[in-house]
Each structure stands twice: as structure tokens, then as C-alpha cells.
Chains A and B, each alone.
Chain A
């Protein structure tokens, strides 16, 4: 079971990375001027050169949501193990949700990073352009984190 979970986790991470890479490509083709580095990399890559798909932020978000959902299920699955250790069901649930919050935060960050073309150069722009959304997301995230921490304790 444990191995299965690790495999699923590795698969999920790969999926996020590859998915975001793909999202990055689409974004470069449609939205941004390619820089020389990118161009250089692009030239060097046969698949990108031959592909005609456009990058989509929705795709990244979808990938991130999917990853978040999968992580939730993953932690839910590991819940009985926590119960086996004799923990209180509430605290164990809260602990799992806390872990999930932290992981989902990381996924969100990865998604943001992916949407920025895996580059910190435009991070400021991105934050600025999506601040409202980011704040909502951040708020929700923090609220959930807090709730989790509260229940854990």
C-alpha cells in the first residue's frame, strides 16, 4: 500500500511537472516573445518545434486542481493508518488535512511558477495581474490551514 502510495505520489509529481511544462510551452507560443535562451532551447527541441499546440493557463489550473484533489484522496487514504496509531479521529483528520494544506500550497506555488514560464522574472507581474485571485486563494488556504492547525492541537 505504501509503495502504491509512493508510486501514485511520484506519478502525480511527474504529472504536475510535465503538465506545467506543457502549459509553459503553450504560454510561450501564444502569449510571449521567445527569448534567445528559450529560442535556443526551442531550436534544440524537435517536439516543440514540430508541435502546433497553444499553451493554456486553464490547463495549468486544471492540472493543479487535479493534483490537489489527488492529494486529498491520498491523505484521506492514509487516514486509517493514523487511526491505527491510536490517535483521536478528529486530530488525525485535522493532521491529515494540515498536511494536505501544506502540499496543496506547494502545488499552487508550482502552478504559479508554471504559469510564469517556470521563471521568476515575471513573478511580480503575474502577482500584480492576478492579485485579487491570489489573495482569495491565499485567504482560503490560510483559513483552512488555521482551521487544521486548530483541530490538530
Chain B
């Protein structure tokens, strides 16, 4: 007795492959899909700073918990900022397919209204999960994943359509030949709810709408997650997923007309009810990935499978010969439609009997291993670490050090920060004179102008001496009028009238703004000076400085009080009365002179010349006197004016001082605002306060630290974690020491900070009221950190993180001497030949592909080993005869290709053509599924499958030995006989029988055996009491109803008809190539022999068996019509293998 497996190669539409790159749409589903896509984008980004790789690569991530916790330890929110899914060409790269509680609640009441959902939804199993079931993830419940897909089917379809439209153009990429066809990769795990719930639906959608495109699946098995909590549900999901997957990958299933029509099994139902059929198999190829390797244990690193798949995807777009070769050998046509046949052989008496079951064998897997140097990763790590170290130094909380914000004499460093200084600045601003002086000057000018005019009227001679009093009175009146006018103007100077401030008030306010601006800039400068001192400054000292400012403002209260007292005193001393007008007196001497002049006329002519001389003399004297008088009057007027002016000035001074205090109070409040407020309004512009700047600085630094820390720790982990599939040649290096040595030679860090400052300073200065006179590059750098997120995020500016890391990476290119993995390997081979060769041999023999397969089936083992070896592709940096020969000697490596990267020797391996029953864990998965269903009941089963009907699914665990197979065959025999004898009937689309069990007090009970014969046979094989009941009923029926010759002939004909049908189906399916004998064929053959014997016995004549057979066959052909009840139900015509619709 033996079980053997045979492979039957498929012949379905081989996939034409070439070395050109394909336009590709990657669809990641669930958390695992995200992990792979993010890693792929990160690889592209690290290589080219383009997260997409190429324009002809599109990405779509679909998840029910798009903002949930990642399944790996990678903090994508931080380190994936440059590669996050966004909107590309107006197409969303990620779709959230969660369903809000209210919507879901409402939906459950209206399921019949949804034609694309109602036929498969196990509502009874889902409803108890509550309305929140699909709010954050699918809770590892597969039908929820399918429901999420169906609910958002239009959105998903539109998105895929948009992506395909975008791809369906000619791409001209220099150096790359882009194939016209489009490949669609669907990546996810079969363990959770989202990915495993919708991986078939997405494929159906694609196959129904865009059958011309190749659709590939890359799915992770549940063992990947076995270290993360209880894996029973995940294993059960995985089993159910594989069952469903197998169903849709088995092309023959499409031949079942009943399932196809009744349950839309081979149609994609649109939300509007429209249906589109698709052909099987759903996927052109499926890669299954497990934690373990083929014949080799898995990695300790949980996320490595995701990383490996991302690496393999990445090399699909490698321009080197290696990449081209990988693309050309991927996916081979002869696997499509291939099958594995399991043959059970045993001795039945002296005859060897064999029965074969065939299984779809279209599955693939792959793996990537290699010998690596970590130089690039180390450089990268060192770059991140260096930036991280710098940033950490910026975030240190040093002890308080007041010298940082004090002058040597202990006063505050911002010298303007005193009561008098602030008042002085408000008074004076940056003008030469204070506002008060300006007012005085203005008043003086006005006074002078007025005085000039008034004085021009004061010009008395001996002709108009009589008008002196009148003129002077008039002059004083004019002065009074002028003063009165000026008083009114003065009142307006320091007040606001209808929103318009007087000149002085406007000046003071302008000065206040200038003062605040000055203080703001000085404090900001001081803040950045403290922040830039990484050795003793830092945020703590800035806060200390703010506290000092606060104290200083409090201390100013004393000076303010004194100032107010002085002002009050001044106000009290103000003269209330107006100045007294001076008395204007004309000098008597002038009168005497006038009389003398008259006397001159008395001088006789005999005294020639004397008269004129005397007159001239007196007139001259009079003139002088008059001048004196005019001067005196003018002086009196001037004095009067001055007196008035002084009173005005004093009045002004009081109001001015009151206003100063008012503005000082405003200034004080504004200074506090400058420090605390988020937005500070200065000079009609809004600016960021200092505390928010500090906060922004700390946030930015923390954000950067998180970012670089994630990268640094991730890279360190990658460098230091030992991965079985990667043989690292430089893992013994003391990273920290190498880093320390290198950094000690770096010197000043301005090479890192200066480009950052250069990139953002103009933008910051243009948008922010900021010091342009920050001289220290380190101060500018910290200012950039503080203001970057406020002013530099938008626009076309490059990203800060990118500038930092790019500059650092450029510098760190000197970090380690460039070396080649080939050189290093050669060195190792010289120094430690045996050990090194052993390691390489070990790796080559172990790492064929990443899927754990059972070793129970030697032919499968041979086949996958052979295909893996045939599809193994080694990639060397460049030609190296010695290494190539060595690798060839140590294992089968295939044709060597070169990829040009000095740091790796790659081994890509791909296998194909194994059936799912060959999976190593398939029995464990099935067992866990069964135990879960036994424990939790039918609802648990329904939560594992994406369809409420599962009868059409074949078990993935094949009979483990001949006994088990015989048991199954016995069930088939029992089933066929019971059907033919009408013990089991096809009713309401199900196989049923009526049984009266003792435990139910022999009450008749209708038992459903399933919708398909295979399900019924399986059901029977697993239910011992049922078998007993069938046996009894069959026996009784045979004795009671079918004992006559004609009856036996009818039974024989029914069995014969079925046999013919099974035979024709089998012949058609295997198409005259290798045709296995199926259990049905075997069982029907056996039943035919049994009933032929019964028939002969009923004939009561001795007749040759062969003769009876010929006779019955002739009779069967003559009748053309099979009348048995079973004949109505099954195998009536064509290739149908399931009951005809009733």
C-alpha cells in the first residue's frame, strides 16, 4: 500500500515574459500589505529619494484600520513621513474601508437591499459583534473584511480604475523599456480579517473588469504571526482562506453550473446589482510566504518576511542584468492550471487497486538571500546617529546659568530692559528728540511764527506814538487767542479723536511699537543665543530667562509708582491762572526830545549849520529812544508769550507723563504677550511669541529626534540583527567605536547647519519679524529649527529632514572605506576558508524559498526543489571568476548575473507548482480550525469564511493513509447507493435524509448533508451514527422496494449513468493526458459490480458476467433515458457533476 503524488502540468495561457519592466499596480490589503508597500517605498526613497520608484508604479493600500497601530515595530508615522501614502495624480494611495457604527447598525436591518452582499453575508454571525465591529479593523473576522470591501466596492473600483487609466499610457523612462501590459500585485496576509477577507474580492473585481491584466497574489501565512499572541483564530482564518483560494484557483470548479448561477460564485456583483462574470483561476500566480523557509527554520525578526517581499519587489525594478534576469524568469506559463494527483494504492485480494485525487497545484513561493556588507547601512546609520546626537544636545535641560542672560555686572543682558529705558524708548523711539521735545519744538515754532507776526505790528515812531497802548493791547489779545488755540491743540495731541490719535500720541504709539519690536528682537536674539549654546544653554535656561523678564517687569512697579507720584506732584503745581499782562509805558524822555526838536527851530540863521545839526542830533536820539521802546514792548510781549508757553508746556508734560504710564502699562502687557502669546501683533503685523517659538523649537527638535531615533534604532537593529538569509561579512565591527573615531575628526558642525540655514533663512526672514543680524550660524540654525514648521513647510522648499540627512550622508560617505563584498569574501576565504565555505554552503542549501512544505510527499519535494534550483538567480556585483567557481562548487546557483552594487551577493530563488495540502502546517491549521468551531459553534465557522455556504470548498488535508482513504471511499459508496435507492434525496438545493435517532426518541428528523456530493460524502465519513442510519435505511429499502430484477436493472442503469458522467468529466478534465481514477469512479465501478451481481442473482439463471454487462449496456443505450430518481438530480448531461437545478 502506498500514497504517491504525480504532477500534471497545466496548459492554460502561459504568461509571456520578457526582461522589460512592467507597469505595476501594487495593492496592499490590511496591515501586512501596508508593511510591504511601505518598505518597498522606503527602499525606492533611500535609493532615489522618490518613494514611488518609477512613474509606472502605482500603489494602493486598503485597510479597515488605516490609522491603527502598525503590526510591526516600525513606527511608520515617524520614519515613513517621506513615503507615506498620500494623493498622487489626484488618486488616493490609501483607502479607509472602515464602516461607521451607525451605518453598520442601519445596514444590518436592510441587508436584502444590497444585491452584492445579501447572498453571502452571515448576518447572524456578524450582528452580535456590534455596530463597532468595522470601525477600527476587521477584528480578524473574514466576512467583516469582505463586507468592508463590498461596502466600499465602488470607491475601490474607481480607485483601481483611475490607477489603471494612469498606467495605460506610454511611459518614456530613460534607460528603461516599459512593457505595455500591466501587472497587478495584491499583497496581504491570510491570517487577519481585512486582507484575508477581501483578497479574493479584489481579484474578482479585477478579473471581472480588467481580465486583460495579470493579477498576482503575494500572501503571508498565519505562522508569521505566531509569536504575537494567540494564533488559533489566525490559523483558522488562514485555513479557511486557503480553502477558498484553492476553490478559485481550481479552474474545473467553474464548470459547476449550479454553484455559479445560484450563488454568484463566478460573478462579481456590483453594488447596483449588475453582475460581471470572470474566469478561473482568479490569480495568474500566487506566492505564499511563511515564516519558515523551505527545510529551514524561520527568522527571529517578525517583520523579515515583509522586508524580504519588499526586497524582491524592489529588484523587479532593478535596471541591472540581475533585475532583468529576475523579471524574465518570474512566472512561468507551465504552472498555470497544473495539478497534483495523489494516488492511493493497495492490494484488494490479489488485485492492486488505486484511487487518485487531484488538487490544484498552481502555487508559488520565493526567497531572497545573500552575502552582504553593511557599509551603506552603516553610513546611513552613522548619518542618522550624528544628526540625532546633535539634536539631542539641543534638547538637553542644563542647570540654570544666569550668566547666559546677564551682563558681567549682573544686570539683564537686554540693556533696554528697565523702567527708565522703556519710558525713554517710548518717548524717543529711534528719533533724535523725544515726543515731548518735538511738541515743544513745534510749539516754539508756532509761537515764534505768531510772535513774528505780532511783533511786526510793534514799530512805533514819533508819528504814531499815540497808538502804542491800542496796538499793544491788540497784540496781547492775539497772544491770548494763540495760546487758547494751542491749548485746544495740546488737548488733542495726546488723545484720540474718532479713532485718530493726536500727533504726540501717534508718535508715542509708533515709538511703543518700535520699543516692542526692539525688545522682541533683543529677547529673541538672546533666546536663540541661549538655545544655540548646546553645552550649557538649552530650553531650560531660556525659560529661566523668561522668568527673569517677568521678575524685571514686576520690579519695575516701584519705579512706575515713583513716576506716577512725580506726575501727580507736577499736576498739583500747575498754575491755574493765566499770566498777567505787562504794563506798556512810553518813556518821558521821548517827550523831552520832542520838545528839544521844536526848540531847534529857535536857533537863528546867524548860527549857520547849528539848527540842522541840533535837529539831527535830537532826531537821532529820539530814534534810539523809540527803538528802545519798541524793543521793550516786544520783549514784554515775548515774555508774556513765554510765560504762556511754559504753562502750556507744563500742562502738556503732565498729560504726556500720564500717557507715558498708560503706554508703559500697555508695553508691559505686550512684553508678557511677546513671551507667552502664540501670536504677537507688532506694528500691524502678527508674529510668533517667544514661548511658542521655544515650544515650536522643542517640538521640532523632539519630532526630529523621534524621526532620527526611529531610523537610527531601526538601522542599528538591521545592522546588528542577525538574519539567517543574510550572511553579513562585517557584523563583527564595533560600530560605536568606528563612529566615535570618525566623528572625532569631523570638527565644527557648521557644514551640517549652514545648508539648513541657507535653505530656510530667506523664507523665515520674509515671513517672520526676526533678527537679520543673528551672526552666529548656530543661532540661525536653532532659529530655523524653531520656525521651520511655521513658515517653511509649504511651498517649494525642500524638506528639513531631507536636507539634514542628505548633507550628513554626503559627509558620511567618508565614514568607512568603500569596500566590495567580493574583496571581503575573498579575504575571508583566505583567512578562514573552511568556516566561510561552510557558511556559504549552508546558506545556499537552505534558502531556496520562504515556504515551509511538508516532507511527506517526496515527488512534491523533488519537484519544488528542482524548480527552485532551476529558478535560482545569483547576483554578483561584477564578474569574479574565483567567487563564481566557488559558489558553483558549493551549491547549484544557476547563471550568474551582475547588479553593480558592491555590497551584496544576492540569491533569488523561486519555486512553483505545489498543492496546498503540501503545506507543512496545513494539518495544524485544519485542526485548529476544527477545534475553534467545536468550541465556539457555527458562528465561529461563519466568521472564518467569506461566504455563508462552504460546501463547495474542498478539504485541504488529504487522507493521511490508505485506511482513511478507504473510509472516505466507503462514504462515497454509501452515498451513491443511498441516493440511487432514494434514501438520500436532493431537496431545496441540498442533499437530505430523514433519520430517527434514539436520542431524539426516534422522532423523524431531516438531516442536511450538504450542497455538493463531495460535502455529503465528507459529512458521512465524519459522522458515525449517520453512517449507521444510512446503512440501515439502504439495506431496508433494498430489501423492501428494490428486490426485483427490474428494480435492480434500474439501479444499475442509474449507477451506470453516473459512472459514465464521472468518466466523461474526468476524460474532459484531463484531456487524454494523464487521467487519474477518481474516488467517484472507483466507487461507482464497485457499485456497478455489486449490483450486476445482485442482478445476476435475481435472474435465476447462470449467465456470464461479461454477457450480463454487455446486455445491460445494450439495454441502457436503447432506453436513452435514465429514470431513476438520482438520474433526475445528477449527471444528466454534459460535464455536470452536481445536481441539476430543480
Contacts and interface: CB of A to CB of B under 8 A. Distances in A.
A144 B606 CA distance: 8
A79 B614 contact: yes
A94 B611 CA distance: 11
Interface in B595-625: 596, 599-600, 602-604, 606-607, 609-611, 613-614, 617-618
A138 B855 CA distance: 181
Contact of B609 (A76, A83, A90): A76
Contacts of B618: 83, 89
Contacts of B617: 79-80, 83, 89
A104 interface: no
A94 B599 CA distance: 13
B599 A76 contact: no
Nearest to A144: B606
A81 to B, nearest CB: 10
A129 B504 CA distance: 101
A93 B617 CA distance: 13
A57 interface: no
Nearest to A83: B617
A89 B613 CA distance: 10
A93 B607 contact: yes
A92 to B, nearest CB: 8
A97 B614 contact: no
Contact of A76 (B602, B604, B606, B610): B610
B602 A90 contact: yes
A94 B614 contact: no
Contacts of B609: 76
Interface in A74-96: 76, 79-80, 83, 88-90, 92-94, 96
Contacts, number: 44
B613 A90 contact: no
Contacts of A151: 604, 607
A147 interface: yes
Contact of B599 (A79, A80, A90, A96): A90
A89 B618 CA distance: 10
Contact of A88 (B599, B607, B611, B613): B599
Contacts of A83: 614, 617-618
Interface in A88-129: 88-90, 92-94, 96-97
A8 B220 CA distance: 141
A79 B612 CA distance: 11
**A contacts with B: majority SS:** helix
B602 to A, nearest CB: 5
Given A80-B617, A83-B617, A89 B606 contact: no
B608 to A, nearest CB: 8
A47 B599 CA distance: 56
Contacts of B599: 88-90
A89 B604 contact: no
A76 B603 CA distance: 13
Given A80-B617, A89-B596, A89-B599, A96 B610 contact: yes
Interface in B558-605: 596, 599-600, 602-604
A5 B371 CA distance: 132
A76 B616 CA distance: 13
A94 B606 CA distance: 9
A79 B613 contact: yes
B598 to A, nearest CB: 10
A95 B1100 CA distance: 208
B614 A147 contact: no
Contact of B610 (A93, A144, A147): A93
Contacts of B596: 88-89
B613 A80 contact: yes
B616 to A, nearest CB: 9
A97 B606 contact: yes
A142 to B, nearest CB: 14
A9 B812 CA distance: 114
Contacts of A90: 599, 602-603
Contacts of B606: 97, 144, 147
Contacts of A89: 596, 599-600, 602-603, 610-611, 614, 617-618
Contacts of A144: 606
A79 B611 CA distance: 10
Instruction: Identify the interface centre among B604, B609, B614: most chain A CB within 10 Å of its CB.
Output: B614
Contacts of B613: 76, 79-80
Contacts of A80: 613, 617
B1038 to A, nearest CB: 180
B589 to A, nearest CB: 11
Nearest to A147: B606
A141 to B, nearest CB: 13
A69 B1023 CA distance: 177
Interface centre among A79, A80, A90, A92 (most CB of B within 10 A): A90
A84 to B, nearest CB: 9
Interface in B963-986: none
B339 to A, nearest CB: 152
B553 to A, nearest CB: 75
Interface in B321-353: none
A47 to B, nearest CB: 40
Interface in B760-793: none
Contacts of A97: 606-607, 610
Contacts of A93: 603, 607, 610-611, 614
Contacts of B611: 89, 93
A111 B588 CA distance: 50
Contacts of B607: 93-94, 96-97, 151
A90 B604 CA distance: 8
Interface in B44-70: none
Nearest to B602: A90
A151 B607 CA distance: 10
Nearest to A100: B607
A90 B597 CA distance: 11
Contacts of A79: 610, 613-614, 617
Q: Which of B609, B610, B617 has the most CB of A within 10 A?
A: B610
B587 to A, nearest CB: 16
A112 B607 CA distance: 26
A145 B596 CA distance: 25
Contacts of B600: 89
A144 B928 CA distance: 168
A80 B609 CA distance: 12
A96 B618 CA distance: 18
A105 to B, nearest CB: 16
Most-contacted residue by chain A among B606, B607, B609 (CB, 10 A): B607
A93 B613 CA distance: 10
A70 B235 CA distance: 152
A83 B618 CA distance: 9
A90 B606 CA distance: 11
A46 B617 CA distance: 52
Nearest to B598: A89
B810 to A, nearest CB: 100
Nearest to A143: B606
Contacts of A92: 614
A21 to B, nearest CB: 31
A87 B599 CA distance: 11
Contacts of B614: 79, 83, 89, 92-93
A88 B617 CA distance: 12
A131 B606 CA distance: 26
Most chain B CB atoms below 10 A, which of A80, A83, A89, A96? A89
Contacts of A94: 607
Interface of B: 596, 599-600, 602-604, 606-607, 609-611, 613-614, 617-618
Given A80-B617, A89-B602, A92-B614, 13 more contacts: A76-B609, A79-B610, A79-B613, A83-B614, A83-B618, A89-B596, A89-B599, A89-B600, A89-B610, A89-B611, A94-B607, A97-B607, A151-B607
12 contacts: A79-B614, A88-B599, A89-B610, A89-B617, A89-B618, A90-B603, A93-B607, A93-B610, A93-B614, A96-B607, A97-B610, A147-B604
**Shortest 4 CB-CB contacts between residues of A and residues of B:** A93-B610, A89-B614, A93-B607, A90-B602
